[in-house]
């Protein structure tokens, strides 16, 4: 239940706004000038807001599509990301969003057409027809709030039949009905992120259990959709070898390897400023107690630990999948 919904004046009359508000007849609606008045206000408490976040319906005015950070990709020459939402329904202890924003309210940008216009421009300027991947799910979960946003319903048909173009929807959600309602196409990758069950239970608050995510992947695979597996962040802990081995076995024993487009993995890392903010939020949190070191502007595990966990998981994945489908992120490069 969302108790308060803020609506930017500029989108008050938008048909998507009206449709969303109809779903919340008992919520308090407050019209505001710009979403930043509420979202960027200083001295907000991310943790307290997270217990009952408000929804802010807004219009995005610029920076619709941005290049992905260096080193992130799943095989294309060019990589971009876009975020129709800021913040997430779930509450993962390691989530970098809590270090990025002052507020845990959900911002939904409903001018979807502005995003697709920007994507069209990028595709038009792709003169030598290089393969491009667009990623959704960096600043939110792509599927978790589909019943409110209608994101999948709008964006999947847009990406279908675009030559040399892939779309990745990154998620932990099992809200897959809208995807199953549509015809699968190979350039759409539904990418599930996982940590092992033991870690997920302690740290991925509100997210569907690992088993349910695997079941959702299996349904998507059976319906003909391409899948991604994202072991990112890889979390170092005493029995990480057994736990990651079990997770990988559980996934590949249930889902045909043919359904996988790619696997990507990377050790837990944060931009330095975000790390400081998040570790201050949870001073006793074990996750952040490993001796993190600074690498360029990032904080991550010492090289010896980072290499150990990445190499272990990579080697084990090769039992099931070709090496050229595995992409790892190295903060030390």
3-state class (DSSP) for residue 1: coil
Q: How far is the CB of 7 from ligand SF4 (least distance, A)?
A: 24
Q: How far is the CB of 319 from ligand SF4 (least distance, A)?
A: 27
Which distant-in-sequence residues (6+ apart) come within 8 Å of 64 by Cβ?
Answer: 82, 114, 115, 117, 118, 119
Rounded to whole angstroms, the Cα distance separating 232 from 168 reads 15
Cβ 177 vs Cβ 155: under 8 Å = no
- Regarding 214 and contact with ligand SF4 (CB under 6 A), the answer is no
- Regarding 200 and contact with ligand SF4 (CB under 6 A), the answer is no
168-187 positions binding ligand SF4, by CB under 6 A: 172
| CB neighbour class for 88 (10 Å; exposed up to 12, middle 13-18, buried from 19) | buried
Rounded to whole angstroms, the Cα distance separating 92 from 270 reads 14
Closest CA to 316 of 221, 213, 238, 242: 242
- C-beta neighbour count of 64 within 10 angstroms: 21
Q: Which two tokens stand for residue 114?
A: 């502005």
Contact window for ligand SF4 (CB under 6 A) among 17-25, 86-94, 183-191, 287-295: 86-94
Q: Considering beta carbons, is residue 29 or 100 the nearer one to ligand SF4?
A: 100
Contact window for ligand SF4 (CB under 6 A) among 89-97, 177-185, 214-222, 243-251: 89-97
Q: Considering beta carbons, is residue 165 or 230 the nearer one to ligand SF4?
A: 230
Contact window for ligand SF4 (CB under 6 A) among 6-14, 83-91, 179-187, 261-269: 83-91
Q: How far is the CB of 94 from ligand SF4 (least distance, A)?
A: 7
Q: How far is the CB of 201 from ligand SF4 (least distance, A)?
A: 14
Q: Which residues bind ligand SF4 (CB under 6 A)?
A: 88, 90-92, 95, 97, 141, 172, 207
């Amino acid at each position: 239940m969302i108790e308060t919904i803020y609506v930017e004046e500029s989108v008050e009359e938008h048909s998507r706004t009206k449709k969303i508000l109809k779903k919340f007849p008992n919520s308090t609606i407050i019209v505001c000038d710009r979403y930043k008045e509420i979202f960027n206000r200083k001295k907000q408490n991310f943790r307290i807001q997270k217990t009952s976040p408000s929804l802010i319906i807004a219009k995005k005015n610029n920076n619709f599509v941005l290049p992905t950070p260096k080193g992130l990709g799943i095989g294309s020459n060019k990589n971009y990301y876009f975020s129709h939402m800021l913040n997430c329904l779930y509450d993962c202890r390691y989530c970098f969003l809590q270090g990025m924003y002052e507020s845990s309210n959900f911002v939904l940008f409903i001018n979807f057409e502005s995003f697709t216009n920007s994507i069209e421009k990028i595709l038009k300027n792709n003169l030598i027809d290089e393969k491009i991947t667009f990623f959704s799910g960096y600043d939110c979960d792509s599927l978790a709030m589909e019943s409110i946003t209608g994101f999948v319903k709008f964006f999947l048909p847009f990406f279908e039949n675009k030559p040399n173009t892939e779309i990745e929807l990154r998620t932990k959600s099992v809200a897959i009905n809208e995807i199953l309602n549509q015809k699968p196409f190979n350039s759409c990758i539904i990418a599930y992120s996982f940590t092992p069950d033991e870690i997920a239970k302690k740290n991925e608050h509100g997210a569907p259990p690992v088993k349910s995510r695997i079941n959702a992947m299996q349904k998507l695979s059976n319906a003909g959709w391409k899948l991604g597996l994202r072991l990112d962040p890889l979390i170092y802990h005493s029995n990480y070898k057994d736990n990651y081995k079990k997770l990988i076995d559980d996934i590949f024993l249930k889902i045909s390897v043919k359904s996988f487009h790619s696997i990507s993995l990377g050790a837990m890392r944060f931009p330095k400023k975000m790390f400081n903010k998040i570790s201050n939020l949870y001073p006793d949190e074990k996750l952040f107690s490993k001796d993190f070191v600074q690498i360029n502007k990032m904080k991550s595990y010492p090289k010896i630990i980072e290499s150990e966990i990445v190499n272990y998981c990579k080697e084990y994945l090769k039992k099931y999948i070709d090496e050229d489908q595995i992409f790892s992120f190295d903060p030390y490069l």
